[in-house]
């Protein structure tokens, strides 16, 4: 008996489709998960959809359970929340998060899923992968008590970073974005908001997440002497100019990269991926994070919706995908 499910595939840049896929037989250490909802990452995933992953980064950009190769056909995604229908007794019937693409059912090792805490609704838990990135950024940034901080770029990652950093004692966090409507997101997250030209300067730390040259340049302008820009943006195949003239050297400024997939060296010797993901899910008990979900569609609508997300025609932050009756697993 062959079990099948339905999965979203990028057939070629800009063109997606729903395919029927065969599920492997689960082993004794595997789980069978029925997807409840998944999330579209507007940064990385829409870049993949447009075919913007440089050839030199094809290996580094692979998702944990990716099928196919860039630029396509490829099955890509990593924000999935589902219900364990088969597996070890400790996980059976549990809601779990997994770095899995958009698919109605899937089979993975039990070690690849993280139980969602009871206080975190499944629809909010799709943000766990993004909040995990924010946790790693906070570990890389290592803010100090009372630091003055800005996050430039109020997308999914930037807004998540601002929400996490705002929980540090006595820090002042300002979310900076060129879109005035993002002020509502900042308000929901409990942080200040400013347009780029109005942002307060003389900062100890700026986290840059706008993926624009202008945002990176403004981030450097906002720093106090010896301040640091933590760069979170992923530019794909675009070349970015960095203003290193004028007062960059005399003010002794620093630009530092934060790697999404690797645990921060400051924590890596003591904590691994599982610790980081569990912490992200714990933080998601705060309903303020609901402000990061700004759109929703059904699974079967993804081929029509993703082009609009990739082009910006459908604005917003995280786009959540619902799975209903169509998520029933089939047997042949």
Structural domains of the chain, ranges and CATH numbers in brackets: 4-117+285-322 (3.90.180.10), 135-257 (3.40.50.720)
Q: Write the pLDDT tens digit of every residue in 181-195.
A: 999 999 999 999 999
Give the Cβ contact number of residue 324 at 10 Å. Answer: 11
Containing 67, the helix (H) or strand (E) segment is strand 67-68
Whole-angstrom Cα distance, residue 54 to residue 175? 30
pTM of the model: 0.89
Q: 105, 327 in Cβ contact below 8 A?
A: yes
CA dihedral 270, 152, 177, 319 (to 10 degrees): -30
Q: Can the peptide bond before residue 71 be classed as cis, meaning omega within 30 degrees of 0?
A: yes
**Token output for 51:** 């075919």
Model pLDDT, residue 88: 97
Q: 220: which 2 tokens?
A: 């450097």
Phi-psi region of 127 (alpha: psi -120 to 50; beta: other; left: phi over 0): alpha
pLDDT tens digits for the chain (332 residues)? 689 999 999 999 999 999 999 999 999 999 999 999 999 988 789 989 999 898 988 998 899 999 999 999 999 999 999 999 999 999 999 999 999 999 999 999 999 999 999 999 999 999 999 999 999 999 999 999 999 999 999 999 999 999 999 999 999 999 999 999 999 999 999 999 999 999 999 999 999 999 999 999 999 999 999 999 999 998 877 788 888 988 899 999 999 998 666 666 666 556 777 888 999 999 999 999 999 999 999 999 999 999 999 998 998 899 999 998 544 444 44
Question: Structure tokens of 171?
Answer: 């820090």
């Amino acid at each position: 008996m062959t079990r099948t499910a339905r999965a979203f595939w990028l057939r070629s840049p800009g063109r997606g489709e729903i395919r029927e896929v065969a599920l492997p037989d689960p082993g004794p250490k595997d789980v069978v998960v029925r997807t409840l909802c998944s999330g579209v990452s507007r940064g990385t995933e829409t870049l993949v959809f447009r075919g913007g992953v440089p050839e030199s980064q094809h290996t580094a950009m692979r998702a944990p359970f990716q099928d196919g190769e860039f630029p396509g056909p490829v099955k890509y995604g990593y924000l999935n929340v589902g219900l364990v229908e088969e597996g070890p007794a400790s996980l059976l019937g549990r809601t779990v998060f997994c770095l899995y693409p958009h698919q109605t059912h899937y089979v993975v090792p039990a070690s690849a899923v993280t139980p969602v805490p009871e206080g975190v609704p499944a629809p909010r838990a799709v943000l766990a992968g993004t909040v995990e990135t924010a946790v790693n950024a906070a570990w890389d940034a290592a803010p100090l008590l009372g630091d003055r901080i800005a996050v430039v770029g109020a997308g999914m990652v930037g807004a998540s970073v601002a929400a996490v950093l705002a929980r540090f004692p006595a820090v002042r966090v300002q979310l900076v974005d060129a879109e005035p409507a993002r002020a509502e997101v900042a308000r929901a997250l409990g942080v200040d908001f400013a347009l780029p030209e109005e942002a307060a300067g003389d900062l100890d730390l700026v986290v840059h997440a706008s993926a624009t040259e202008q945002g990176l340049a403004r981030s450097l302008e906002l720093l106090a002497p010896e301040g640091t820009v933590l760069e979170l943006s992923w530019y794909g195949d675009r070349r970015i100019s960095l203003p290193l003239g004028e007062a960059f050297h005399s003010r002794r400024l620093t630009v530092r990269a934060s790697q999404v997939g690797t645990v921060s060296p400051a924590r890596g010797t003591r904590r691994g991926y599982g610790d980081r993901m569990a912490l992200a899910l714990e933080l998601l008990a705060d309903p303020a994070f609901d402000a990061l979900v700004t759109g929703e569609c059904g699974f079967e609508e993804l081929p029509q919706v993703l082009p609009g997300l990739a082009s910006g025609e459908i604005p917003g932050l995280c786009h959540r995908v619902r799975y209903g009756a169509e998520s029933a697993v089939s047997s042949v």
